[in-house]
Structure 1
């Protein structure tokens, strides 16, 4: 489990920044070159490269360099650890809601 938590922490840290979330949302459509990813942001290219490095270190994106052009794409399964964790939390919350529903049915007076 410690490896799971370390991966989850890295993904959550990476997605905590709105710029990085915007990059991920853009990459859902298709892979993109770095200059295309940088276009909507008012920041220098080195700053965007730092954001991409955080996403890559977290295992969310991958990049390839062909000549002078670097293409970034989502890494298959890169967000699976987040989905797994959210599923575990949802399951717990659903069980609590089910217990509350049963309790309310048992304790609510019936109208005749």
Structure 2
């Protein structure tokens, strides 16, 4: 039996309250599909990194963590910038992940590329 790897998708967030519900929906569907296909470990996660948002971004992440097993988040103490938020997420995820993918919360990149 081949063991599938644990995937963490890191999503840096700065004032993303307007897009987060759709982001969780789309990326959650991708995780579910990959798990069903046996391509990733069922413990795979979306890791949202709140980069000092001034809106309700962090509260949404906390709510998603309560409602979805595949969502987790970390909160930075202030805004450190996009690249530092990515680095914080990768530094966290490398401890437990076999594969890490990063994507912006607005999903302007092609999310279907995750399947590859």
TM-score range, shorter-chain basis? Answer: under 0.3
Compute the TM-score of the two structures, normalised by the length of structure 2.
0.25
Higher relative CO (Cα under 8 Å, sequence separation at least 6) belongs to 2
Structure 1 or 2: more strand by fraction:
2
Q: Which has the higher helix share?
A: 1
Q: Bigger radius of gyration, 1 or 2?
A: 1
- Normalising by the residue count of structure 1, what TM-score does the alignment of the two structures yield? 0.26
